[in-house]
Structure 1
Amino acid sequence: MSSHNYGDSTRSLKAVSAQAIPGQPVSPPAVPAATYHLSDDDADLDTYGRASNPTWRRLESALAELEGASGALAFGSGMAAITAALNVSTKPGMVLVLPADGYYQVRRYAAEYLVPVGVTVIEATSSQIIDAAAGADVVLAETPTNPKLDVVDLRALATACRGRGARLIVDNTTATPLGQQPLSLGADLVVASATKGLSGHSDLLAGYVAANRPDLIAAVDRQRLLAGAILGAFEAWLLLRSVASAGLRFERQCHNAQALATMLQSHPGVRAVRYPGLADDPAHPVAAAQMRRFGALVSAELADATAVHALVRRSELLIAATSFGSVHTSVDRRARWGDAVADGFARISCGIEDTDDLLADIERALG
């Protein structure tokens, strides 16, 4: 039975499982090494901690397996992964298209570091990005977008990029590789913050880049080596440990998100709800065609900022926190960070609480 036919929990577990060798630990320990003993023939796999680490390789093998990639590289954060991919993909004189409705820090990085060296940056919403790709050298897409949860048709976007000869980078953070595999839809590179769903415990920062092209992996690897944006061995081990349960956690999170979005649609205190898994959501047709699961995020607009704060204060289960993908259900009022949303816009990241408990708690807290 090939690995792609397994369920998510089996895929996650197999991705981190080592070959069974008698006498070796089932769960390998972290290798927190900065230097290694060197051989005489200069053929060492590991020489210095900034260049390689055995724990990285185990983690990267798992990430590549989940993304359907031939290779993956771990980074110290999602932003480190994204900026590495952008740095190896763009040169002065090129045109880069970025999501206008995606993670705001990526736009800030491009404005402060890429534009000054001669890269032309065009911001396009998820509905505009396919047309914008016609004039681009590099396109970065985020789908579903953070925080509004619009969905980009990756097959159509990949076709537009190929027609132009443009490189397509896809941020897979919100969907996770258990929700969609952008490489199979035509992406050249996948980037993601593993801080979110794959780690899932709000206790580490990590990111990764994955691809099926050895030349791109080699270029990103060189960028990581020289820039030094590495992931610590202990954090790599913690993430590897978390990936084993990612399928189980993500299944419950997606189930909770679907149920919560359905409940919020009919609540009088909620002005609008976005979730790609809702049949009447504008993103649903494309999401249903390219996603295996619809994710753990629900966007809901309440009356104002006071209503969002009251929701968290009255709840016994919700926490107010930025980021997402944790085992705890959290609420983030995104206008606080400068996103172009209403003051009462709340991004809710569903955790692994029992569904009935979570729905009852939020319904009571809404009043």
Structure 2
Amino acid sequence: MAPKTGEMLHLRGNALNAGDPVALPLTQSSMYHLPGGTDGLPTYGRVDNPTWLHLEHVLAHLEEAPCLTFPSGMGAISAALFATLKTGSRLLIPSDGYYVTRVLADRFLSGLGMSVTERPTTTFTEGGFDGFDVVFVESPSNPGLDMLDLPAIAAAVRAAGGITIADNTTLTPLGQRPLELGIDVVVSSDTKAMAGHSDLLMGHVASRNAQIMERVEEWRRVSGAIPGPHEAWMLHRGLETLDVRFERMCSSAQVLAERLADHPAVKQIRYPGLTGDPSHALAAAQTARFGFLLSITLETEEKAETFINACPMLRPATSFGGVHSSAERRARWGDDVDPAFIRLSVGCEPVEELWQAIETSLNAL
């Protein structure tokens, strides 16, 4: 069931008193006035902040589950993993997902006595899930855009006694609802489409498991991995336009993918919205939209760089999900992809203007 984004816009407004500001106030304070008892009151800036509280109320509305915010997507991923793992735990992660998750597991979790296993997304279920305490999934994978059967994996992991965590950054709660598909915990980098303007770092964790969320909250409180109030305020403002931005971005991505598939300079294209894409059937079954990310592979690394840098409507930058379309060769970050593989994040530009710029740059190669 899709979240009611119109209702989301009025969550604060319908609780206002006469004379209250309609826009969310920014509370920038580390201390609170605490004469006498402190029960039920904000106590300290590392523990409580009214701006976070309302942001998390909005995110909980989108996820239809309790949410906690963090200063980055990796902050959210770290919190979810440290809340569910301990020495001796076994963790399964995708070998072709976001590379920093793998770095965290390899360089830090392994050193704390946790066993880490990696599997490619396309063969993720091979070998089963017996013995794994936590199974971390990413669907679609970043940057390959391969999909997983989330309901089947969630059921199998639960039957084996494990917990599932899904990174839903690429599709947001408007495009895919992992908790409704049986996943235990969702993490997201809200730096990307959720905030949408490439001007802040934030992330969140959502779960309907109260025990897990208690651990996540404790991790945030004692580790100090807290969001800044100003960033929380900015993310809240970004969420108010998520619905219209996401609709534009996904619709444009579909148009561009269909045209790019026919361009002679494009050796390969991946977009779940294309009927011939390996991910199409799963995406059609378990997502509301096919997303705003696509990938193309050109003939050579040199041509890929020339295409990106020459196109006036593509920002050559890492990350994705902003109002400005952007592109990059993922091989430069160590992803196991063709050197001419380009991840393209479709923004909010008028689609015909964007296509004209992309086509002109491709035709000039």
- Name the counterpart of 1:364: 360
In structure 1, C-alpha distance between the alignment counterparts of 2:138 and 2:242, rounded to whole Å:
21
In structure 2, C-alpha distance between the alignment counterparts of 1:311 and 1:12, rounded to whole Å:
40
Change (3 A) 1:335 1:11: farther
* Cα distance, 1:31 vs structure 2: 0.5
Change (3 A) 1:95 1:17: farther
Change (3 A) 1:317 1:243: same
- Name the counterpart of 2:275: 279
In structure 2, C-alpha distance between the alignment counterparts of 1:312 and 1:349, rounded to whole Å:
12
In structure 1, C-alpha distance between the alignment counterparts of 2:71 and 2:101, rounded to whole Å:
16
From 325, 328, 332, the equivalent of 2:324 is 328
1:235 aligns with 2:228: no
In structure 1, C-alpha distance between the alignment counterparts of 2:330 and 2:12, rounded to whole Å:
34
Q: Which amino acid aligns with 2:114?
A: V
* Cα distance, 1:117 vs structure 2: 1.5
In structure 2, C-alpha distance between the alignment counterparts of 1:15 and 1:158, rounded to whole Å:
31
Instruction: Write the mapping of 1:70-219 to structure 2, written as runs, cut at 5 A.
Output: 71-131=66-126, 132-219=128-215
SS in 2 for 1:80: helix
Contact kept in structure 2, 1:126 and 1:152, CA below 8 Å:
yes
- Name the counterpart of 1:353: 349
* Cα distance, 1:233 vs structure 2: 0.3
Q: Deviations over 1:86-108 (max 9, x none)?
A: 01111111110001110001001
Q: RMSD value over aligned CA atoms?
A: 1.4
- Name the counterpart of 2:289: 293
- Name the counterpart of 1:59: 55
Q: Which amino acid aligns with 1:205?
A: L
Change (3 A) 1:189 1:273: same
SS in 1 for 2:278: coil
SS in 2 for 1:64: helix
In structure 1, C-alpha distance between the alignment counterparts of 2:46 and 2:339, rounded to whole Å:
43
In structure 2, C-alpha distance between the alignment counterparts of 1:203 and 1:175, rounded to whole Å:
19
* Structure 2: 5+ residue stretches without partners: none
TM-score, with structure 1 as normaliser: 0.96
In structure 1, C-alpha distance between the alignment counterparts of 2:348 and 2:15, rounded to whole Å:
30
* Cα distance, 1:172 vs structure 2: 0.5
Instruction: Write the mapping of 1:235-274 to structure 2, written as runs, cut at 5 A.
Output: 235-274=231-270
In structure 2, C-alpha distance between the alignment counterparts of 1:290 and 1:15, rounded to whole Å:
28
- Name the counterpart of 2:222: 226
1:340 aligns with 2:336: yes
Structure 1 range deviating more: 36-45 or 175-184: 36-45
In structure 1, C-alpha distance between the alignment counterparts of 2:298 and 2:2, rounded to whole Å:
40
Percent identity of paired positions between Structure 1 and Structure 2: 45
Q: Which amino acid aligns with 1:84?
A: A
Q: Deviations over 1:311-365 (max 9, x none)?
A: 1232221110000000000001100000000110000000000011111110111
Q: Which amino acid aligns with 2:115?
A: T
* Structure 1: 5+ residue stretches without partners: none
TM-score, with structure 2 as normaliser: 0.96
Q: Deviations over 1:125-161 (max 9, x none)?
A: 2222233423411000011110011111110110111
SS in 2 for 1:299: strand
In structure 1, C-alpha distance between the alignment counterparts of 2:113 and 2:129, rounded to whole Å:
19
